[in-house]
């Protein structure tokens, strides 16, 4: 293992700012279905990252889904060791809410939400002369959100009123990983985000639940990934710790699910419904192991496990703070490496179901590369994603649109 850490340091490129420097163009599809109830989840999107757009220091990142678009126009070197991204996103089903309590999907209290956001991101390297970068990220963002009842929403349930939210994210990150099979990485990071709505409000059944006007999120991450050159076997281990102040149903920490492109900082638990656990704070640990099954390394099989200790959001408490799951997946690459198919299975060891505990889910991911192959793993936490995009109608695969490469 010491040799692996040394290889990471030797292989790291000189520090650069955080706009994605690689040319990427792909189509990604994904679906996940809990077998004991709960909404199916799915997404489909076209992803383009084009550095050197018309000029050397201009980069375009574009994500297009059926009803949503997310983009960033990146300007490199606006100041020494500093990049700037101008962010614009909008469309339907971006901010909906699925109410899940004690392992049960409550259709009558779930609703859709559309939205539009704009802002910018500043990426500054604090140690430009060092081989492993230490980066500062500053991101102010304004979001307009509008909510509507679904056909299955209880007629006595009032969805939230529309609101504007201004947020500020601050982050510092040492190291990092490219989102590709075979890429090793080491990351330590710490983050803060303040969310400020233009109003607090009551909604639901006669105003029985609250949206807070001000909320704060804090989290830190440590992860390590390494591919053994001689065998192609891949190891990942990650720890994420998070807490919050004054959060509510819409912005609390959400844990559960197994698809890779459902949030910017995914907190997966295999076998669980997507976003099944609502938490004020958590400790989330996961480990993954992938091994090729053929000499060409086109066929692979992997296993993974997750354990999370949770302080539940009031109203979502369960017996015991531990939530855990086990998963397995198989992946197949095309002969020309221009497509990849992944089959996923998850077992939620401690998922609350009636009667007792234990839940199963199955999933599918498909990726088509346009041009040279750049392979995010089917489960890769550092793949180019943003925040959850797309409320899901029961039984319908609606888009969850990813966004930028995680800074």
What is the band of 375 on the pLDDT scale with cuts at 50, 70, 90? low
Q: Where are the beta strands (DSSP E) in 66-184?
A: 68-79, 82-91, 97-101, 104-125, 134-149, 163-176
For residues 9 and 41, the model is more confident at: 41
Residue 122's contacts (CB-CB under 8 Å, 6 or more residues apart) are 82, 83, 84, 85, 136, 137, 138, 139
Would you say how long the chain is, in residues?
407
Q: Please state, in angstroms and rounded to a whole number, the distance separating the CA atoms of residues 253 and 243.
A: 8
CA atoms within 13 A on the CB side of 140: 1
Residues 6 or more apart from 316 whose CB is under 8 A from it? 101, 102, 277, 278, 279
Identify whether 355 is preceded by a cis peptide bond (ω within 30 of 0).
yes
Structural domains of the chain in order of their starting residue, each with its CATH number: 2-369 (2.40.160.50)
Q: What tokens does 256 get?
A: 């559960």
To which residue do tokens 């101008």 refer? 86
pLDDT bracket for residue 179 (50, 70, 90): very low
236 and 224 in contact (C-beta within 8 Å)?
yes
Spatial distance between the Cα atoms of 264 and 71, rounded to a whole number of angstroms: 15
Give the Cα separation of 292 and 406 in Å (integer).
Answer: 27
Residue 374: the pLDDT is 55
Averaged pLDDT of the chain: 86
Cβ(262)–Cβ(272) below 8 Å? no
Minimum mean pLDDT among 13-22, 116-125, 246-255: which range? 13-22
Token couple for 120: 């910018």
Measured in whole angstroms, how far is the alpha carbon of residue 277 from the centre of its chain?
15
- Confidence (pLDDT) at 22: 80
Least confident of 7-21, 86-100, 356-370: 7-21
pLDDT of residue 6: 36
pLDDT digits (tens, 9 = 90+) for 147-177: 999 999 999 999 999 999 999 999 999 987 5
Q: Quick one: pLDDT at residue 397?
A: 29
Tens of pLDDT, residue by residue over 210-256, are: 999 999 999 999 999 888 888 889 999 999 999 999 999 999 999 99
Q: Is the pLDDT of residue 395 over 70?
A: no
Please compute the mean of the pLDDT values over residues 127-150 and round it to a whole number: 94
pLDDT the model gives residue 373: 57
Residue 25: what pLDDT? Answer: 92
Q: Could you give the 3-state DSSP secondary structure of residue 12?
A: coil
280 sits in the region (left: phi over 0; alpha: psi -120 to 50; else beta) called: alpha
The number of CA neighbours under 13 Å toward the Cβ of 192 is 7
Mean of the pLDDT values across residues 353-366?
94
Kindly tell me if the per-residue pLDDT of 11 is higher than 80: no
Q: What are the structure tokens assigned to 137, written together?
A: 């990220």
Mean pLDDT of 59-80: 94
CA distance linking residue 152 with residue 84, whole number of Å: 43
């Amino acid at each position: 293992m010491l040799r692996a850490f040394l290889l990471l340091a030797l292989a790291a490129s000189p520090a650069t700012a955080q706009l994605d420097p690689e040319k990427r163009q792909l189509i990604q599809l994904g679906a996940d279905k809990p077998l004991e109830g709960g909404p199916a989840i799915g997404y489909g999107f076209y992803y383009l990252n084009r550095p050197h757009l018309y000029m050397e220091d201009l980069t375009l990142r574009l994500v297009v889904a059926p009803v949503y678009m997310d983009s960033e126009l990146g300007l490199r070197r606006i100041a020494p060791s500093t990049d700037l991204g101008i962010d614009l996103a909008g469309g339907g089903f971006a901010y909906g809410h699925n109410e899940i309590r004690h392992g049960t999907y409550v259709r009558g209290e779930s609703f859709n939400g559309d939205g539009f956001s704009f802002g910018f991101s500043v990426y500054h390297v604090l140690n430009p002369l060092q081989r492993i970068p230490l980066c500062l990220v500053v991101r102010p963002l304004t979001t307009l959100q509008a909510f509507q009842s679904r056909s299955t929403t209880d007629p006595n349930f009032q969805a939230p009123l529309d609101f504007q939210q201004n947020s500020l994210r601050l982050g510092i990150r040492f190291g990092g990983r490219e989102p590709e099979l075979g890429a090793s990485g080491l990351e330590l990071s710490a983050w803060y985000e303040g969310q400020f709505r233009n109003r607090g409000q009551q909604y639901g059944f006669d105003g029985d639940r609250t949206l807070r006007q001000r909320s704060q999120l804090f989290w830190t991450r440590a992860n390590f990934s390494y591919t053994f050159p001689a065998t192609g076997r891949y190891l990942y281990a990650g720890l994420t710790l998070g807490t919050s102040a004054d959060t509510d149903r819409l912005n609390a920490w959400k844990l559960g699910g197994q698809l890779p492109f459902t949030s910017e900082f995914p907190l997966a638990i295999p076998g669980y419904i997507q976003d099944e656990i609502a938490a004020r704070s958590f400790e989330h640990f996961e480990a993954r192991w992938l091994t090729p099954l053929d000499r060409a390394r086109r066929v692979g099989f992997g296993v993974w496990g997750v354990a999370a200790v949770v302080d539940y959001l009031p109203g979502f408490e369960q017996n015991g703070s531990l939530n855990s799951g086990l998963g397995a997946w198989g992946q197949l690459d095309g002969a020309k490496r221009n497509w990849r198919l992944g089959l996923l299975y998850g077992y939620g060891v401690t998922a609350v179901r009636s009667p007792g505990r234990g839940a199963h889910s199955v999933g599918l991911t498909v990726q088509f590369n346009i041009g040279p192959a750049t392979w995010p793993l089917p489960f890769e936490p550092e793949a180019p994603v943003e925040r959850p995009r797309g409320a899901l109608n029961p039984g319908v695969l609606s888009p969850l649109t990813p966004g930028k490469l995680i800074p």
